[in-house]
Structure formats: structure tokens, C-alpha cells
Copies of this chain bind each other. A is one copy, B any other.
Amino acid sequence: MDKIEFKKMAERYNKELLENVLPFWLEKSQDKEYGGYFTCLNRDGSVFDTDKFVWLQGREVWMFSMLYNKFQKNEEWLECAKQGAEFLKKYGYTGNYDFYFSLTREGKPIVQPYNIFSNTFACMAFAQLAEATGSEEYADMAKKIFERILERRNNPKGQWSKGVPGTRPMKDFALPMIICNMALEVEKIIDDKELMDKTIKECLHEVLDVFYQPSLGAMVENVSSVDNSLVDCFEGREINPGHDLEALWFIENLGVRLGDKELVQKAVDISLRVIELGWDKEYGGIFYFLDSKGYPQQKLEWDQKLWWVHLESSIAMLKGYQLTGNEKCLEWFLKLDDYMWKHFKDQEYPEWFGYLNRRGEVLLPLKGGKWKGCFHVPRGLYQIGQMLEDLSK
């Protein structure tokens, strides 16, 4: 591809972000009465459920703050982020900075803070907003939530764990992966640089040396927390290729940040193995889940094609190309670009579809739900647009 083609492509991504996706969320998701965001949105953006899922509240605050910090000083974006953050500050958490999983429209807690990822997204949200506003209060919130995450890290499910202690202790890939991401997000506001370095080092080790299985060419979602060994059960055999590829671009970013070219190269090499494994050779797109031994899976949605998987994989592939010049990465990116715009983009209404069946047909017509909010689509469009612009220069 030549520079003019990259430029044209960058324009397509930037236009989709600025004229289609961001206006959708600004207009349709904000609850002007109670604050916070609706995320259960029909194809046309109308609200079908008013519950507020905390992952997605935090992610939307983060999204608009990040874009304000890095992309454009758009005051509407900042106001949108602030009102969501105020809602979270008022209703989102318990006395010890654990964030609930969901709230009613008015902010009453529905589901307990059993899920540590509510904390991680809230932490990233307040850290970005602190940077955007210069507010000490938001920075302080982010710090306290970060401390709480480190505290909960070795027993994230706590009292809500269903495992009988001792029989088969496992740990999951999602936590060190998110911490890799969070590390770059909060480093400006965390004073203890030694703690940050240690945390990053530990998480990189976990992802690359513990969860990654060279013999498979992918990470497994769970390993033994006693000796890091593979566990031959449903959870221990589970592979989530989109999850792996998202983690790998976080790691590529960390590699750049640490000036560690070898780390970048390693992540890119792994990413090519993962996408080769995860790609559906029959219908195209990337499977949601695989079993490391090829056994029948526990999760019935295993063969579905999800928006976030494809956006995160596209970022990983284009970043791999940008950082190493590997043409294979570019080929994969172009294949994903073709798949996404053909299947996930809604040609009639704004924002993208989230859930397709194996054949790439729409499974759920929603634009937002319990798990899909203002996050992967705009983050992906933004990152890809930026990288394409860099490549056009």
C-alpha cells in the first residue's frame, strides 16, 4: 500500500468515528435526568433497558476523556465524561472502593462488586479524567481504586468465588492483561515508580511466560495458580483469540514505552500465530472461543463473531505492521478491515453491530447492551485512524 492509500483509509476511519459513532453515543447514551449512560440501545439508538452496567459507565468516561486528552479539545466530550464520572462517584462504589457490577437508572446498586473489572475500568476512567480536568479529586479516586485492585488481585472474586478452596485453584488471564493496559493509563498519577515497574514486569511475565503456550500458539484463559501448569478442564482448555490479540497490542505499547524492541517483536510473532489459529477458514472472521485440545466447548457462543474481537485484532495487526514492517500483519489487517466494514458496520443506522453468528449474519440487532458500550468501536476507530495517518506520512 502506498501513502495515498493509507491517507484515504485513515479518512474513512476518522470520519466514521467523528461523524457516525461519537455523535451516536453523545446523543443516545447520556441520561440527562439521572446522569450516567444508557447502554442498552436498539439498532436505531432508542433505549430498551435503563439499567446501568458499571464496566460500561467507566469505559464511556474513559473514552471521552481519552479522546479529549489525545485527539481534540472538544468541550462536549469533556462534559459527557464528567457527568458520567459524577454519577459513578455518587453511586458506583462501596466504602472500600469496590465498584458494583450494575445500578438502576437512579443509581441504586443491583449487583454486588463481585467482578474486579468494574474497578479496573473505573480506575482508568478517573485517571484519564484527572488528566483532562487537572482535578486532584479525580486523581485521588484513581489512586485509591488502583490500590484496591492490587489488594484484590490475588483473590479477585473474594466471597463470590464458587470454587472449593484447595481442590483446583486457578487464576485467569484477564487480570494481568488488564493490568498491562492499566499500567500505562495510571502511571502519571502513581508516585511509587518502583511499584509500577514491578507490577508491569510481573504482568508481562504472567501473560508471556505463564498464560502463553508456545506449543499451541495462543494463551489459555486459565492456569493453575499453584504452579502455573495447564489444567485439563473446560476453563483450563479455553482459548479466546480476541482476548489474546487485545493483550498483545497492550504489550506492544508497553514494549514501545520501555524501548524494548525484543518485547515488541515477540508480541508480534505471537499475534500472527494467534490470528492464524483463531480465523474461521470456512466463513471468515475470528472465533469467539476455542478449546486447546479441540474438544467440544462449554460456551455455546464459541463460533460467533463479536465486534470487539475484530476491532482489537485489527489494532494488533496494524500496530504489528507499524512497529515491525511485517507484511503479514498488513495482509491480516486488510482482511479484517474488509470483514468488519462488510459485516459489523450498519449501513442504515449509526454505530456498529456487536454480535454476528458464525456466517457473519446479525444475531442481535443491538448497538449497545450489557457488555457493548461506548468503547471498542470508538477506541478501535481512533487507534486505527491514528496509525493509518502515521503510515501515510
Binding site for B on A (CB under 8 A): 40, 42, 48-49, 51, 100-101, 104, 108-112, 114, 159-160, 162-164, 167-168, 232-234, 293, 295-298, 300-301, 303-304, 355, 357-358, 363-366, 369-370
Assess the A109–B303 pair: CB atoms within 8 A: no
If A112-B162, A167-B109, A363-B303 touch, whether A48 touches B101 (CB-CB below 8 Å) is no
User: What separation, in Å, do the CA atoms of A370 and B237 have in the docked complex?
Assistant: 14
Assess the B296–A168 pair: CB atoms within 8 A: no
Assess the A296–B369 pair: CB atoms within 8 A: yes
Assess the B104–A162 pair: CB atoms within 8 A: no
Assess the B300–A301 pair: CB atoms within 8 A: yes
Assess the B160–A49 pair: CB atoms within 8 A: no
Contacts of A109 in B (CB 8 A): 164, 167
Assess the A296–B233 pair: CB atoms within 8 A: no
Partner of A163, one of B49, B111, B296: B111
Assess the A296–B104 pair: CB atoms within 8 A: no
Assess the B49–A234 pair: CB atoms within 8 A: yes
Assess the B300–A363 pair: CB atoms within 8 A: yes
Contacts of A303 in B (CB 8 A): 357, 363
Cβ of A156 to closest chain B Cβ, rounded Å: 14
If A101-B162, A162-B160 touch, whether A297 touches B364 (CB-CB below 8 Å) is yes
Assess the B100–A164 pair: CB atoms within 8 A: yes
Partner of A110, one of B167, B232, B365: B167
User: What separation, in Å, do the CA atoms of A112 and B162 have in the docked complex?
Assistant: 5
